[in-house]
Amino acid sequence: MILAGDIGGTKTVLALLQHDTEGVLRTVQEQTYASGEYDSFDAILELFLPKNVQIASACFGIAGPVVNQHCYATNLKWTIEGDLLKAKLGTQQVKLLNDLEAMAVGMLHLQAEEFIELNPNAEPYVGNIAVIAAGTGLGEAILYWDGRQHHPIATEGGHCSFAPQNQQQDRLLEFLRGRYSQHVSYERVLSGIGFSNLYDFLLDSQFAAACPAVPNAQNAKQGNVDRNAIISRLGINGEDALCSEVVRLFVEIYGAEAGNLVMKSFAMGGVFIGGGIGPKIRSALESGGFMQAFTEKGRFQAILGKVSVKLALNARTPLLGAMHYFDAE
């Protein structure tokens, strides 16, 4: 059996799989758990694994940095050790991946209809691929092309310093420094909390009047209301001027950072956009603002204008990556 997992701060998804007689990988068992309800990853494994099951290989994508096959999942206060899992599962074929590393592998196993091409001028090219994903946080990874196949490379690029591209973004950085005095990263903007940060900035800048449907941060927390979801929904539907500008600015900065990642990894093979936010703001990503910001790199504008930029629609991509990781080994 193959054991695969997608371990996140909110939920953990585990799956047992095996190849059928034709070599096709089939899911035998799959279960989703609320991560916060368990004290450790081992506790979930004990519930999930059937007695006497024989595990041939196991791979887990984890929301957190993986160093020497050791991961401390900060949002959960779980410590996950690759060597301990090898002993527990009875196999040397155990791999811990950063969640974006797993997502990157999963992207290679999606079907064409599970992508939306955002660049109408894209030209096919085989090479490195950049992976960027805004969700609870901002994840970035690279698929390195060695001439035969792609290899995933984890990064913590979402924590790089936010770099403004225009005067409005200059003012945004000054505003965010008031909230995050030590360091303003791209993740403060390109993540769920980014919608609230952008809304509060624009309100402070008197871009437009406050939206009556958007609670302030304190009331949202007390009422257990997802303020970020309200802002993004009103913005994408064009129901409020302030929220609409939030989404436009989010997309502009998202495009610029995706372009940065392409430049740093020379990802002429394209960009995959993952994460939970992208499909929810698909119409805004397709409107042209993303690609305009993506290509605005001075002398490299013409080159970036030919790079494929694909939005992935399959939310199970990190799990697919964990399922297929050992295929290429």
Is 64 annotated to bind a ligand? Reply is no
Helices (runs of H) and strands (runs of E) counted in the chain: 13, 14
Is 230 annotated to bind a ligand? Reply is no
Is the CB of residue 111 less than 8 Å from the CB of residue 74? no
Distance in angstroms (rounded) separating the CA atoms of residues 256 and 248: 13
Is the CB of residue 198 less than 8 Å from the CB of residue 189? yes
Distance in angstroms (rounded) separating the CA atoms of residues 231 and 284: 14
Is 157 annotated to bind a ligand? Reply is no
Residue spans of alpha helices (H) in the chain: 41-48, 82-89, 99-107, 167-179, 192-204, 217-222, 227-236, 241-265, 277-280, 282-285, 289-295, 301-304, 317-324
Is 147 annotated to bind a ligand? Reply is no
Q: Which of 80, 56, 69, 67 is nearest to 7 (CA)?
A: 80
Is 10 annotated to bind a ligand? Reply is yes
Distance in angstroms (rounded) separating the CA atoms of residues 251 and 229: 15
Binding-site residues sit at: 5-10
Binding-site residues for ATP sit at: 5-10
